[in-house]
Structure 1
Amino acid sequence: MILEIVSPEVKLFSGEVTSITLPGVDGSFQILNNHAPIVSLLKKGIVKIEGTSFNFSKEATSKFTKVNDQTYTLAIESGTIEMKDNKAIILAD
């Protein structure tokens, strides 16, 4: 699936991923390829993205933490996610 992570200042990430784990207001949840359409609010926590290759913008590199070669995390204060047609967009604060 395609994932875009956007903050008010800059686009943090855009690329192909295999899964996303998110801090939802009602608990953590995971999105995989071909997930049903969803819009959800996010709370303060950690967004975990898994994939095979990552290309971060220069401005965003310091915001992500590398867990291993296929997993990175991003701390957020709040946000929203929209998943539709195998494309997820996270608007993160």
Structure 2
Amino acid sequence: MHLEIITPEKILLSAEVESVAVPGVEGEFQMLSDHEAIVSVLVKGEVKIGGNVSLAEEVKDDFTTGEDGRLEYHIKGGVLEFKNNKAIVLAD
């Protein structure tokens, strides 16, 4: 599946990933390939990215590696849209 993380300043990530977990209003949830289409409001927390993802040098400092080895990006809130194996996170 394809994941894009977009902030008001820049596109942080546009890459093929195995999974993405996001902090939804009712708790964290994860999407894998062929997930049903969804739009969700996101709350403060971590976007967790599974898979072998190469980050551009200019955004490496924006991400951390979680205890489980997944890449993580901290958001203050935002919106997620997933359809046709493409997840777009508009993050604050």
Answer whether TM exceeds 0.5 for this pair. Answer: yes
Q: Partner amino acid for 1:55?
A: S
Over the residues paired in the alignment, what is the CA RMSD in angstroms? Answer: 1.6
Which residues of structure 1 form unaligned runs of 5+? none
Q: Measure the CA separation in 2 of the matches of 1:77 and 1:67.
A: 18
Cross-structure match for 2:3? 3
Cross-structure match for 1:44? 44
1:67 corresponds to 2:78: no
Moved >6 Å (runs of 4+): none
Shift of 1:58: 3.3
Q: Measure the CA separation in 2 of the matches of 1:10 and 1:60.
A: 10
Which residues of structure 2 form unaligned runs of 5+? none
Q: Measure the CA separation in 2 of the matches of 1:84 and 1:30.
A: 14
Q: Measure the CA separation in 2 of the matches of 1:92 and 1:30.
A: 17
Q: Percent identity?
A: 47
Q: Measure the CA separation in 1 of the matches of 2:56 and 2:77.
A: 21
Alignment length, in residue pairs? 92
TM-score (norm 2): 0.91
Shift of 1:9: 0.2
TM-score (norm 1): 0.91
